[in-house]
Structure 1
Amino acid sequence: MTEAAAGPGTADRVRVRDALLAALLLAHVTATSAPRELPVAAALTAALALPLLWRHRAPRTVFGVVAAAAFVQWLADVQLPADVALLMALYTVAAHSGRRFTLLAAAVVEGGALLACLRWAADGAFLAPFVALTAAVVAAAALGTNARTSRACLAALEERAAHQERQQLQQARLAVAEERTRIAREMHDIVTHNLSVMVALTDAAVHAQHRSPDRATTAMLRVSETGRQALTDMRRSLGILRTDEPDAERHPLPGIPQLQDLADRMRAAGLPTRIDVRGDHTHLPATAQLTVHRLVQEALTNTLKHTPAGTWAEVLIRCSTGAVTVDVTDSGPCPPPPGAAPSGRSNRSGQGIPGMRERAAAYGGTLRAGPLPGGGWGVHARLLLDSAGAASA
């Protein structure tokens, strides 16, 4: 990892190294300079090396100070090993500044190298030291530019990783919300249907307990059977959330074949129901059959809850290769005329009809529910088996 891309701890270590370098340069000057030249050499060395302690905080300012000290050194005609500070300042500028300022700083240092060679190079040996200093200038600028590029790439990678992490978190939250909606929809369908049937059977048993005890006993047995079926359905739905729950394997998801059992429960609860399945349903996926079952269940439950005694219902299911349609109609009363109080069926709320629409939409289909022209209530749904929604259901 480069200095420019280093963290706070590494930056502290860099400052310690810069301080040690300044101390070593001062010690070298003190040990090698003549007593008469020592004050000027020490002052120039300090002016060149000490600003490096702040080169990461203010690289341009430090470069200007070091370059000015180097020019004063040239004017004073004093050769010092502390000139290496100029290359370090150039590296830091290239690592923290743009290309334009880096080129300007490199030109300044190159000009200083030219002036130094013109003054201090031995006779006839100008080219070799100038080429060596030029190579050092280019290397310092190139290394600093590479450090800046590496830091930018690392920042881009970190930003991309953070963005992907945020996206994954958002997708996980959406998946959790979708799963909660699915479970809430399943619980609504199971609980609403079975409780409605149990209430209807219990009312029938209460009315028949004195006149026909046998019918009352049969109704209560149906209540018990419906309650057990509700518990099984709830275990099966919630068992999907647990890997150690075997109940879902013992009791497969309800589908089109189980609609006859649903019709029997509805007839026992007082709603005569007829099921008509046309076409081959064996090719339908289990999730599609579950959707059909829940749509019919919800529609019949609404009929049982919102219509008077004597209402009957019909269910027509048409299966084809790419779609399945569901029509549930009943003979309930027509909606009230304009200005009259709305009935329960025309003023529904909760998850019933919206939940049915969500189930149909999961298969790229649509659902219509409302009064029929000739009286009664109708629910029509069409599921597209080859849609994108089906694939994700």
Structure 2
Amino acid sequence: MFGSVQAWSRRHEKVAAVLRVAPLGALCLLTTVLYAGSGAPDGGVHPGVIWYVGVSAALVVPLVWRERPRLSFAVIALVSFVQWLADVGPVPANVAVLIALWGVAYRCAFRWALAALLVTEVGVLLLLIDRLVPTFGMFSTGSILVVTIWLTGLYARTRRHYLEGLEERAERAERERDQQARMAAAAERARIARELHDVVAHNVSVMVVQADGAGYALDHDPEQARQAVTTISRTGRAALAEMRRLVGVLRENENADPDYTPQPGLDQLEKMVRESAVPARFRVGGTPTDLPEGQQLAVYRIVQEALTNALKHGGPGVRADVEIDFTGPDVLVRVSDDGRGAAAPRSADGHGLIGMRERVGMYGGDVSAGPLRGGGFEVLARLPMAEAT
């Protein structure tokens, strides 16, 4: 189909070239008829008609070669020079020189356009020498006409290149837009994958720790084992519910009903801390502000990940303090525990701190995590409220 469109475009260009020549050809034909009708003194055909028709045809026909402007101008200039040598007077078809000059300026490089301008100026000078006594004013008048037509051709060429550049930039912008859309989709999938990792890592860690505790307490403290099993059941259901929500976003089935459950935020933070497997004290300093949902989710996940780390590495009987401070220009999130701290074994495949830094980095904040003096571990995150807003 694209080839047929190109073929149609080429045919259209040829037809347009013929139509551009048609007015000049019609003028030459009309002048030829009038010239021949005047007749010779003896009533026959005027003797200059043959020269007139031949020169006019030789000047007009090359204008059809629109795609080869240099050849067209060269032929017309050569015919005009032969016409001057044969002492044949100017005819209306000599306007073809100016049309061909415009074509060279429009379609060829500047050096060819300049060469065509100089050749045309020489032709103006030869015409004045042959027919009149040349003066500077007469030569200037002819040159102004020639240079004006030449400049219009250069302007049209510059305009054409500008429009072609705009079309190219528009196509490139469209390709970049499609690429950005694909990149955004990939980034969104990566974000959801990180969310899925956080959910699974937190809940599975809680379930593993509680299962281990239930196994140890099964013979010595059945009530504590029963509570641990209850916590495992509740955590498993919460993990399944949130995994269904995240996996539902990744589905490509358009007929599936999307889940519009909102992301957890500050409203759910106290409940999460209270239901955590790590006994924790929750405090809020200052007046909570309306943070964007993304920043609320970041605070929620930081606290969740910090409590998970306390549960995994803090040791038995670990307790935690969760503090959210709104008194300053930044939101401060501090989660500390009284566990083993520096003595706790480090996991080689942990991604919790990396995830925290990525979340906080999106809002221009920073996060630090490390053991405390005398034991325990602390996670401190700062999120600028002004930038977030």
Q: Give TM class, smaller chain.
A: 0.7 to 0.9
Q: Is contact 1:190–1:230 with CA below 8 Å preserved after alignment?
A: yes
Does residue 141 in structure 1 map to residue 150 in structure 2?
yes
CA distance in structure 2 between the aligned counterparts of 1:379 and 1:16, rounded to whole angstroms:
81
CA deviation profile, 1:194-235 (whole Å, cap 9, x unmatched) = 111122233334444555555444433322322222233345
- Structure 1 window deviating more from structure 2 (11-20 vs 192-201): it is 11-20
Q: CA deviation at 1:295?
A: 0.3
Does residue 298 in structure 1 map to residue 305 in structure 2?
yes
- The share of aligned pairs that are identical, in percent, is 43
SS of 1:223's equivalent in the other structure is helix
CA distance in structure 2 between the aligned counterparts of 1:284 and 1:19, rounded to whole angstroms:
71
CA distance in structure 2 between the aligned counterparts of 1:293 and 1:382, rounded to whole angstroms:
13
Q: CA deviation at 1:277?
A: 2.6
CA distance in structure 2 between the aligned counterparts of 1:230 and 1:61, rounded to whole angstroms:
79
Q: Is contact 1:208–1:215 with CA below 8 Å preserved after alignment?
A: yes
Aligned to 1:68: 78
**Match among 263, 280, 290 for residue 253 of structure 1:** 263
Does residue 77 in structure 1 map to residue 77 in structure 2?
no
**Match among 157, 176, 179 for residue 188 of structure 2:** 179
CA distance in structure 2 between the aligned counterparts of 1:24 and 1:283, rounded to whole angstroms:
79
Q: Is contact 1:19–1:53 with CA below 8 Å preserved after alignment?
A: yes
Q: CA deviation at 1:67?
A: 1.0
Aligned to 1:189: 198
Q: Is contact 2:14–2:64 with CA below 8 Å preserved after alignment?
A: no
Cα 1:200/1:363, change in 2 over 3 Å: same
Does residue 287 in structure 1 map to residue 294 in structure 2?
yes
SS of 1:203's equivalent in the other structure is helix
Does residue 227 in structure 1 map to residue 229 in structure 2?
no
SS of 2:308's equivalent in the other structure is helix
Q: Is contact 2:305–2:352 with CA below 8 Å preserved after alignment?
A: yes
Q: Which amino acid aligns with 2:228?
A: A
CA deviation profile, 1:59-115 (whole Å, cap 9, x unmatched) = 334323321221111111235554243222111012124667546534543543454
Q: Which amino acid aligns with 1:187?
A: L
Q: Superposition pairs for residues 55-134 of structure 1, below 5 Å?
A: 55-57=66-68, 59-79=69-89, 80-97=91-108, 102=113, 105-106=116-117, 108-113=119-124, 115-116=126-127, 119=130
TM-score, L = length of structure 1: 0.73
Q: Is contact 2:313–2:340 with CA below 8 Å preserved after alignment?
A: no
Q: CA deviation at 1:41?
A: 6.3
Q: Is contact 2:314–2:376 with CA below 8 Å preserved after alignment?
A: no
CA distance in structure 2 between the aligned counterparts of 1:191 and 1:43, rounded to whole angstroms:
91
Cα 1:134/1:382, change in 2 over 3 Å: closer
Does residue 275 in structure 1 map to residue 282 in structure 2?
yes
Structure 2 unpaired stretches of 5+:
1-8, 37-44
Aligned to 1:12: 14
- Structure 1 window deviating more from structure 2 (197-206 vs 375-384): it is 197-206
Q: Is contact 1:21–1:49 with CA below 8 Å preserved after alignment?
A: no
The number of equivalent residue pairs is 365
Q: Which amino acid aligns with 1:292?
A: V
Aligned to 2:329: 322
Q: Is contact 1:56–1:92 with CA below 8 Å preserved after alignment?
A: no
SS of 1:386's equivalent in the other structure is helix
CA distance in structure 2 between the aligned counterparts of 1:225 and 1:261, rounded to whole angstroms:
13
CA distance in structure 2 between the aligned counterparts of 1:160 and 1:169, rounded to whole angstroms:
14
SS of 2:101's equivalent in the other structure is helix
Q: CA deviation at 1:116?
A: 4.0
CA distance in structure 2 between the aligned counterparts of 1:320 and 1:377, rounded to whole angstroms:
24
CA distance in structure 1 between the aligned counterparts of 2:11 and 2:342, rounded to whole angstroms:
77
TM-score, L = length of structure 2: 0.74
Q: Which amino acid aligns with 2:317?
A: G
Aligned to 2:174: 165
